[in-house]
Amino acid sequence: MNVRYDFSGRTAFITGAGSGIGRATAIAFGAAGANVAVSDVAEPGGLETVELIREAGGTAEFFQLDVADVVGVERTVAAVVDRFGGLDVAHNNAGIESEHVPFADSTVDDWRRVVEIDLNAVYYCIRAEVAVMRRRGGGAIVNTASAAGLFAGYHSGPYTTAKHGLVGLTRSAAVDHAKDGIRVNAVCPGGVDTPFVGEVPAPVMQRLMLGIPMKRLATPEEVAAGVLWLASDGASYVNGVALPIDAGLTILSAGTDFSDLDL
């Protein structure tokens, strides 16, 4: 990341930090001088993120957490405060995909699972984070929504619904807690180069690229850059924003691109 931020003396709590966007964000906060509370349900990935931060000279601690456990969320946030003395920034990033089937074919179990992790769990986290930040006099919260929170894609009903809800949750929390000195924003990534995407068949990837004007995926670090900006003093008057980081995906009508057709 070329832009430099200074989070020295601040504590940042990141969920889903064992891989992907969460890991990139945790590493970026560590490089910017923050005390980084690395949280993930999977211990090996979380511990690896901690080691990467420490090897680069940063300060980090791992806190294992299932974000769907509301009591566990409250205990973990309290443990972060005990360890580092406070909480200044939170990146609520943990999330999962839904099954890729038509909306009415999605199972009730999958619906509940995705909504619980991608929407309800962020509510649990914000409740705990705001309680601490209020006492500290303010803070910044950044949620990971998705481009799917701004438009609908085929065969992703539970995920699309949860991410739309997360955008609304972000805006509601932003207006209610601005008076507490707490800003709440969201990033809405498009396609991101992660191990999951690496398993996508080539024809599917080619079709995906038709909807991306820049014709490439984002790196996790590019999304992390948006998170750090929203959490920084440079975004001090930015509140309730759902920021697309998507190369123009959400403004393009892919049906107008005929470049792949032999006409």
pLDDT in the model for residue 92: 98
User: Terminus-to-terminus CA distance in the chain, angstroms?
Assistant: 42
- How many domains is the chain built from? 1
Known catalytic residue at 159: yes
pTM for this predicted structure: 0.95
115 found inside a domain: yes
Section 179-198 average pLDDT: 91
pLDDT in the model for residue 196: 67
How sure is the predictor about 65, in pLDDT bands with cuts at 50, 70 and 90?
A: very high
d(CA 166, CA 107): 21
pLDDT in the model for residue 258: 72
User: Which range of residues forms the domain containing residue 92?
Assistant: 11-246
pLDDT in the model for residue 1: 52
Name 161's Cβ contacts closer than 8 Å, sequence gap at least 6.
115
259 found inside a domain: no
pLDDT in the model for residue 203: 86
How many helices and strands in the chain, by DSSP H and E?
9, 7
76 found inside a domain: yes
d(CA 246, CA 16): 20
**Lowest-confidence region among 13-22, 82-91, 218-227, 254-263:** 254-263
d(CA 207, CA 163): 22
Q: Kindly report, residue by residue over 75-112, the tens digit of the pLDDT.
A: 999 999 999 999 999 999 999 999 999 999 999 999 99
Bridge partner list, 187: 144, 243
pLDDT in the model for residue 255: 74
pLDDT in the model for residue 2: 65
154 found inside a domain: yes
31 found inside a domain: yes
Q: What CATH number corresponds to the domain at position 104?
A: 3.40.50.720
d(CA 143, CA 15): 10
Q: Can you list the alpha helix ranges (DSSP code H) found in the chain?
A: 20-31, 43-55, 70-84, 108-115, 121-136, 157-177, 195-198, 202-210, 220-231
Residue with more model confidence, 263 or 184: 184
CA torsion, ordered 154, 158, 163, 168, to nearest 10 deg: 120
Give percent of the chain with pLDDT exceeding 90: 87
260 found inside a domain: no
| Contact (CB, 8 A) for 246 and 190 | yes
151 found inside a domain: yes
Section 142-157 average pLDDT: 95
Catalytic residue among 5, 124, 159, 237: 159
pLDDT in the model for residue 201: 85
231 found inside a domain: yes
The burial of 113, by beta-carbon neighbours within 10 Å (0-12 exposed, 13-18 middle, 19 or more buried), is given as middle
